[in-house]
Each structure stands twice: as C-alpha cells, then as structure tokens.
Amino acid sequence: MVNITEKIKEIEDEMRRTQSREQGHSKLARLRAQLLEPAAGAGGGGGSGFDVSKSGDARVALVGFPSVGKSTFLSKITKTKSEAAAYSFTTLTAIPGVLEYGGAEIQILDLPGIIEGASEGKGRGRQVISAAKTSDLILMVLDATKRAEQRALLEAELDAVGIRLNKEPPNIYFKPKKAGGLKITFQNPPKNLDEKMIYHVLRDYKILNGEVLVRDENATVDDFIDVVMKDHRKYIRCLYVYNKIDSVSLEFLDQLAREPYTAVMSCELDLGVREVVDRIWKELRLMRLYTKRKGEDPDFSEALIVRRDSTIEDVCDQIHRTLKETFKYALVWGASARHVPQRVGLGHAVADEDVVSIVAK
C-alpha cells in the first residue's frame, strides 16, 4: 500500500511551492479522508475512542463537521497548538489541551471532524463518538455560514449510539426480576405510553418478569426503551457553538444566538470566545472553592472543584476521606455566607468561589 501520510506530506510541500492551492486542497482532503477510513478487517473504525487519558476536573469534547474551527478554538483557549487549515480532516486524532479557569483545569479534547454516517463507522466516526461519550460536556462546534441542518444531522449521529443531549434520564422506574410476571403501574397515565406498548417492548427484549412504575405523564415509548437499555445510554450536556460569525449578517447572528443552549463566536476576530469559555464553565455545573488555613491568606491559585449543590460535607469528602470524623465547624466567606465569615456545619450549601476554612477537633 502507498504510504498515505507520506503522500499527504508531498502534496503539502507541493502546495507550498506552487500556487495550485484549490486543486491541492481537494486532493489533500480526499487523502486525509482515506487515512480516516478503517483499514480492511478493522471492524468499522473501532469503537474504543482514542488513547487519551482523562485529566483535570472535567472533560469537554469538541464535536463537529470538518473545518468548522474546532482546532482553531482549542489553540485559542489552551496552550496546546492543534493544526488548523482550510481543508477537511486536518485533525486526524484526539488532541488534548488544558483550559485553566480560575484555578480549575478543564481538559478540552479536539477531535477529527465527523461526517454523516459516523455512527455506522464512516471515517473515524465511531472513535470520535466514543471519545465524546466519555466527556462531561459536548461542545458541538457548528459553522454559522453552513446550512442549518448540520446541527440536526450531528444530533442524529450521536442519538444513534445512545447519547442523549441536554436531557434528563426518563422518570420511569424499571427493575427486571427472576419470577412473578410483569407489574406495571402508572402514576399519571401518559398520553403516549400505555401498558400494551410496555408489554411489547419488554417482549422484544425477552423480559418476562419485572416491575415498571411510570411517574412522568409525558413519557414516550422511546423513553421507556431508553430506561430498559440504560446501560447503553449516556445523558450528556451539550453546548452548541456557532463559529465564523464574522461571515454572516447581524440579523442571522441574532437569530442563532437565541436558540437554546447556544453561543456564537468568531475565533478569527476573537469575538465571543471568552463568553463561550464562561458558558463551558457554567454548563459543567461545577464550583470552585478556595481553601484557607487559619491565619493565612486563601490559596486562589488552586481551586477545590465540587459539583453544584454541594455542602461542606462534600467539601470534606473531597479533601480527605476521613476529614469528616474530626470536623468541628467550618468558616465560610463568599456568596453562601450570610455574614463573613459565617460559622457553619456539615449541611451548609456552598456557592461558587466561596473561601472555606475547615476547623478540626
């Protein structure tokens, strides 16, 4: 087989020498797509993602069609330089970078572009999707100058492999059992799901015994299937980011920005990039806390990261497994404190950017 990597390099060199850029680009894109195609017998591109270990406090995956600006964005918000260029499939593997955000460290994963059919193993689609599945937030990067369907197309690819975006798991209790038949109960009978449908689904999955309690009156049969298949479903938050707004009208830009879970930016003109970073932090639903030792200033260089809705008890657990046992009280400065410092117990709910001092017995 011809070495595709070498051939790509040759064309790149050739393009540097000559002016035939347009021609070169399309040839290059074709070769790079070839590089992404699974080798014969590799079983559809592999499903195990890329070999990049998780690091930091959270992971964000950049998912999108080729050339929407994923790598440009990564290079802008982290110290990592990921190659960006005008031709498709510039990025061929997962490139991790670290976004530093007020003492928190967020891993940003730049990924190869995906195309329609990715979920069926087109290109490196399956690997990209597997990597996205391991993330705490998907940043779907879209090109503001491209047709509107791009968003729905990508959503369908992710949906096909069990990724549910910006959705809570359905409020349906289901427990398969060894014997005793099926027991189906409705709290508020839904319009789009009844006992017969549930029987049908369970029969398809060869489940003959178990208990079902439908609590949500808006539940659908698809929701029920998701509950039965819960080991193969992943509920991930998604922020849709339209890049290249420098090339669209203000009117259209305004329209895009009003869509839910959506932000707009231009990496090229450095417009809205900072806002997107703030949104990433918000959508991750984490909080940064700063610890303070008695008689010393708080350490703002390193944050303690906890989930939103955390209490002092969660903070203790985060610091050390046994800290709770010697806990006497905590002092809190910041938005959650009624006066500063406020002396609080384990049940106190903390707020983003609070300073906490734990006093042990």
Ligand X SMILES: Nc1nc2c(ncn2[C@@H]2O[C@H](COP(=O)(O)OP(=O)(O)OP(=O)(O)O)[C@@H](O)[C@H]2O)c(=O)[nH]1
Give contact residues for ligand X (rule: CB under 6 A): 64, 66-72, 84-86, 88-91, 112-113, 243-244, 246-247, 266-268
In this structure, what token pair is assigned to residue 249?
């009208």
How many other CB atoms sit within 10 Å of the CB of residue 174? Answer: 18
CB of 164: closest distance to ligand X in angstroms? 24
Helices (H), the chain: 4-17, 21-36, 70-77, 125-133, 149-160, 195-204, 221-228, 250-257, 273-284, 312-319, 323-326
CB of 128: closest distance to K ion in angstroms? 14
| Residue sitting closest to ligand X (CB) | 113
**Which among ligand X, Mg ion, K ion, none contacts residue 58 (Cβ within 5 to 8 A by kind)?**
none
CB of 117: closest distance to ligand X in angstroms? 16
Phi, psi dihedral angles at 263 (to 5 degrees): -135, 160
The site that binds Mg ion (CB under 5 A) totals a number of residues, namely 4
CB of 214: closest distance to Mg ion in angstroms? 44
**Which among ligand X, Mg ion, K ion, none contacts residue 246 (Cβ within 5 to 8 A by kind)?**
ligand X
Examine residue 67 and tell whether it contacts K ion (CB under 5 A).
yes
**Which among ligand X, K ion, Mg ion, none contacts residue 211 (Cβ within 5 to 8 A by kind)?**
none
CB of 134: closest distance to Mg ion in angstroms? 19
Choose between 83 and 309: whose C-beta lies nearer to ligand X: 83
Residue count of the chain: 361
Examine residue 67 and tell whether it contacts Mg ion (CB under 5 A).
no
DSSP 186-214: ESS--SS--HHHHHHHHHHTT--SEEEEE
Examine residue 71 and tell whether it contacts Mg ion (CB under 5 A).
yes
Q: Which amino acid is at 196?
A: K
3-state secondary structure at position 79: coil
